[in-house]
Structure 1
Amino acid sequence: MGEIVNLNKARKTRDRTQAKVSAANNRVVHGQTRLEREAIARERERTSRLLDGARRDPDQS
C-alpha cells in the first residue's frame, strides 16, 4: 500500500515553496537597497556632468 498523505500539509508545503520562489524572484527584480539606488543615481549624475562639460557647442562648428 502507498503512504498516507495529509493533503492539507502537502498543499501548505507546496504553497510555501511557491511563495519562497516568488519572493526570491522579487528580490532579484526589486532587490536594490536605497544606498545602492542612490549610488547609481550619483554615478549617473557625475557622468552626465562630465559629458556635458566636454560637449562642444554646435554654433562653433
Structure 2
Amino acid sequence: MAKPINLNRARKERARKQAREQADRNAVLHGLTKAEKKRARDEALRESKLHEQGRLDPDDTGKD
C-alpha cells in the first residue's frame, strides 16, 4: 500500500521549489557581485563630482 501524502504540504513544497528556482534565475539575470556594486557606486560618485565641477555658481555670473 502506498504511503498517504498531505496534499497541502505537497502543494506548499512545490510552490517553495518554484520560488527558489525563480530567485536563482533572477540572481543570475540581475545580481551583481559585491565588487561590481562597489565599482558602480564609485563610478556614479566620480561622475557626480565631475558634473558638480562644471556647475556655475549663481554669484559667479561674470557681471560686475
Q: TM-score, normalised by structure 2?
A: 0.57
The letter of the residue matching 1:57 is: D
Say whether residues 1:21 and 2:40 are aligned partners.
no
- Segments of 5+ residues of structure 2 without an aligned counterpart are none
Instruction: Detail structure 1 runs of 4+ shifted over 2 Å in the superposition.
Output: 14-17
Q: Distance in 1 between matches of 2:39 and 2:54?
A: 23
Q: Distance in 2 between matches of 1:48 and 1:17?
A: 43
Say whether residues 1:39 and 2:39 are aligned partners.
yes
Q: Percent identity?
A: 31
Q: TM-score, normalised by structure 1?
A: 0.59
Across the aligned residues of Structure 1 and Structure 2, the Cα RMSD in angstroms comes to 2.8
Deviations for 1:31-61, whole angstroms, at most 9, x for unmatched residues? Answer: 1110110110110111011111111111123
User: Is the partner of 1:45 in helix, strand or coil?
Assistant: helix
| Structure 1 residue 17: Cα displacement | 5.3
- Segments of 5+ residues of structure 1 without an aligned counterpart are 1-6
